[in-house]
Amino acid sequence: MRSYDDQDDRKMKKRRKKRSKVHPGYGNLQEDSGLSNEGFEMGEKKKHTLKKGSQFARSFKEVLKAANVFSAAQAVQEAVSKWRNYNTSRRHVQENKTVYRHIKPKTVYAVKKKPELEGLASDLDDDVEDDQIDAALGFPGLGDTAAKRKASASNRAFISYFAKLGKVDGSDDFVDLDFLENLIDNGANVNSTDRYGQSVLHEVARAWHIDVAKFLLGKGMDPNQKDVYGRTALHVAAAVNYPEMVEFLVQHGADIESKTREELQTPVHFAARNDAVMSLKMLIKHNADFKKPRDYKGRTPLHLAAELDRSETARYLVEQGAEAGVQDYSGQACITHMITKMPPVAKEALNQFHPTDRANRKQYYYLNNIEPVLPESFKKVAGEAADSLAKTPMEVAVQYKQYEVLQHPVFQKLISMKWKRFARRGAWLSLFLNFIFIVMWTTLAVAPAWRVRFTYTFPQDWWRIIVSSIAVLLTFYHIIVELKEFFSDKQKFQAWQKWRTEEIRKDLTFCHPRWPEERAFLLREIEQIHDQKSSYFSDFWNLFDWTLYLLLLVCITTHIVDVFAHSEELARWHIRIFALTIIIMWLRLMKNARAFRAIGPFIVILSHMFYDILRFVYLYLEFYIPFACAFWMLFGGRGVTGFLNVPTMLYTMFRLTLVDEYDYDGLHAEDPIFADLLLAMFFFVSAILCINLFIALLSDTFQRVYDNAVSNAIMQQAQTILGLEASMSKKKREKFKAMIHSQCAPLPEYYDDDMTSAEGDDLQKITFQIMEEVEQMHEMMRMMYKPGNVLVMQHPHRVLVSTLCNFEALWTWHAL
């Protein structure tokens, strides 16, 4: 067997092939190998400006040996360390619900194996190039002085130490401030950075106690140092929801309005985009501007939170008065994102557009905020066509079936305004044209008998030529309009899809490599956009229209062929198809009538019942098919009336479901036992079970839809309005928007001061507030009662009384 010394020699030879990562430890010292660090594996060797036997490498080893000697004496110095009163543990994460346990922390270098962590492990990268070290130290190039080599080695050790700490998943780790001070005394620059320009303060702001940041700032650390993306430690603390660190950095000189490079986002932006509510509250507490700052796209913090689906920070910003009616440079409105991704928050934000003045009995509607027009100053940034690509709030509310949003007073006022200005006239005109269209075809269908339909006798049949011509012209008119709508919708959707993808790809440029979840979210957004389809065929009525047009074309074709080459069979099929077409044509009239609120809900009820019928048919066939096989096997083709052939038998069984007449005597004479058995079973399953289940389904659908009759009527009317608005010319649309922005910004109206908001909305708001207060109190009590808390040990009665008073105040407020 090989000796342990031989095994150690082989390990050290392998390590020489890799770049050394510096870390204090208690490994075995070799004369020419530096410190043996079994706690972390080596990274792959990369291009280096130094050779293995250079003076820099020897200086680096000297620093490591000194650090190792210092670590060996750590236990002796621990009792007299001037940093013993500093808390150097990891930060307490509020979302972690694990009960606090007071356990003596272990050193990071006691870990023998680096765990495999998912996602973000550390903001620091310990693989630092020498030219970056020189740049951080302020050296133009690598020199030969011993002091410079020693400082570079200490600098590398300084960065590597925090990088390794960040990659170890241990809640009881701590930072060795004495070791860091020793490195700084040996020339390490506290403002040194890794390959992404991040200093150790970025890592401390992410995961460590504020005392560690206090130590670094005391050693000359710049609180406003930015990485290559322009992110400061305050940006990091705000993003990871670390309010204590946010407050500490602001109080010690961090620029609360610092903006990232090119992306131009402030710490408030970072808190909003990461749903860091506690950090956001702390920033606002210290007077950070959360209403006006815009990034490179013109997005405010609220706009960014809405776009990235951060509902908690969006809700808080709305409560604090952040404007929900703002637009970015491309014309995308903030409220549009909120309606799409967070409808409950959007309802609260819409209240900003409907202020009331009870004293003067006035209410105001700011309709311009939900019918946005891109300002001229924004067009210079985004281009002239940007305002035609962004969807309006009303469009997304209809697209995503946001019934409650459309019921808000602001949207109801906008719908009422559009209905009176142009939609009502358009709806009546469309209904009239379709009624004329139906009457023409119905006249042609019923007037001449089908046996003589192919003959035209003049002059008495002149009216048939006129009516037929009008009917055919109206048919082709509707087909052309439908084709125009289809291609227009497809072109608009593809343009929006391309534009929206390009807008998201712009944000990919600013995704930090150490924060991979940023890029992953944006890529998912792009994938979802690519998976979307045009909404044209998602509307059932469009499919219904094309079914009708196809049947009409078949009727026209068969009639023309029948006129020039008459046959009895062709005439019979022509009249059959025509009869089915007339039924569908009259049903299609409901499409034009749904815009009127008096009958709109009933049309919705019928459409929902159609899907119930399909479900019932599937269930019914599950019983119908096996019983049909059984009846045919026993009685088919044996002289029993109604069971002579398969089509007749199938119809007879359907009549059995409705408890209609049938030849019981014939069935009983053929097989008296199974006739009674099959009939009893089929009556129970079909006539009793299935029919009653079908009635229950229809009753439930009617009750459910009719209870929401108002919201369904508003939705149907809004769909019709959007369709008519899309068919208007660009000049008319711009004229209407100009009227909205001139006369409805705001639109004053009389206000009845007896009106109150919905009780459910108030209750929901109070519930959210109570939940937030209880969570804060629970967190405060958990932090105060953890072991070692001086306040609790010295004044336990004060803490208990304070807690009870807070709870009593909360309960009293809830009761009021």
Position 92 scores a pLDDT of 66
Q: Are 588 and 434 in contact (CB under 8 A)?
A: yes
Strand partners, 327: 333
Q: Compare 653 and 761 and report the one with higher pLDDT.
A: 653
Top mean-pLDDT range of 231-235, 778-782, 808-812: 231-235
Residue type, 402: Q
Q: Token pair 């952040």 is at which residue? A: 322
Residue 566: pLDDT band (50, 70, 90) is confident
pTM assigned to the model: 0.72
CB count within 10 Å of CB 340 equals: 19
Closest CA to 61 of 69, 309, 251: 69
Position 63 scores a pLDDT of 52
What DSSP designation does 423 have? I
pLDDT at 246 over 90: yes
Position 87 scores a pLDDT of 73
Position 532 scores a pLDDT of 85
Tokens of 675: 């006739």
The region of weakest confidence among 371-385, 407-421, 429-443, 652-666 is 371-385
Q: Compare 499 and 387 and report the one with higher pLDDT.
A: 499
Give how far Cα 181 sits from Cα of 78, 83, 86, Å: 14, 10, 14
The region of weakest confidence among 114-128, 627-641, 671-685 is 114-128
Position 79 scores a pLDDT of 44
Q: Are 253 and 223 in contact (CB under 8 A)?
A: yes
Q: Compare 28 and 93 and report the one with higher pLDDT.
A: 93
pLDDT at 604 over 50: yes
Strand partners, 30: 34
Strand partners, 174: 89
Domain boundaries of the chain, sorted by first residue = 1-196, 354-531+543-587, 602-707, 760-815
Q: Which residues contact 341 (CB under 8 A, 6 or more apart)?
A: 306, 307, 309, 311
Give how far Cα 137 sits from Cα of 6, 127, 131, Å: 41, 17, 10
pLDDT tens digits along 606-616 = 888 888 888 89
What DSSP designation does 28 have? P
Position 594 scores a pLDDT of 86
Segment 709-714 shows an average pLDDT of: 82
Residue 446: pLDDT band (50, 70, 90) is confident
Compute the distance between CA of residue 661 and CA of residue 654 in angstroms, rounded to an integer. Answer: 11
DSSP reduced 3-state for 30: strand
Residue 171: pLDDT band (50, 70, 90) is low
Q: What's the mean pLDDT when you consider all of the chain?
A: 77
Tokens of 105: 């922390």
What DSSP designation does 686 have? I
Give how far Cα 758 sits from Cα of 123, 324, 407, 409, 430, Å: 47, 22, 12, 12, 37
Compute the distance between CA of residue 550 and CA of residue 584 in angstroms, rounded to an integer. Answer: 11
Q: What percent of the chain has pLDDT over 70?
A: 72
Q: What percent of the chain has pLDDT over 90?
A: 26
Q: Compare 58 and 596 and report the one with higher pLDDT.
A: 596
The region of weakest confidence among 268-272, 368-372, 448-452, 528-532 is 448-452
pLDDT at 28 over 80: no
CB count within 10 Å of CB 180 equals: 24
